[in-house]
Amino acid sequence: MKIQHMLYGFANIFIRQAKQLDLFATVAWSIWCQRNKIRCNEQSLPLGKIMESAASLMTEFQKHYNSGVRVPRQRDVKWEPPTASMMWKTNFDGAMFSESDLA
């Protein structure tokens, strides 16, 4: 079975119950994060532990989010072009990691 079909079925299970949508998003992020760790040869969680880890992360977030502590909103920031004395040049082309030859 292809991974897309597995993820589609996985998404349907969680989306059927709207209250589980946040858990689905956290599990999907956890899978993506573990995939990146494997790609970078870092230690990753076993596949069977991803759901437990995602649920723990979500519980921890909700505990802090629902604690009533609110961060004050900052004022709206409006972009203005730099002045002549602030002109800088930044290059965004061709950045590569030499050890993997990947961008």
pLDDT band at 1 (very low <50, low <70, confident <90, very high): very low
Distance of alpha carbon 14 from alpha carbon 20, whole angstroms = 5
> What amino acid is encoded at 70 in this protein?
R
Closest CA to 54 of 79, 33, 84, 76: 33
In a domain, 15, yes or no: yes
What pLDDT, in 10s, does the model give residues 33-73? 888 898 899 998 888 888 889 889 988 888 887 766 666 77
pLDDT tier at 79 (50, 70, 90 boundaries)?
A: confident
Residue 83 lies in a domain: no
The count of domains in the chain is 1
- The number of CA neighbours under 13 Å toward the Cβ of 71 is 5
Residue 56 counted as domain residue:
yes
Strand partners, 97: 102
102: how many CB neighbours lie within 10 A of its CB? 8
pLDDT value for 68: 66
Look at residue 78 and tell me if it is in a domain: no
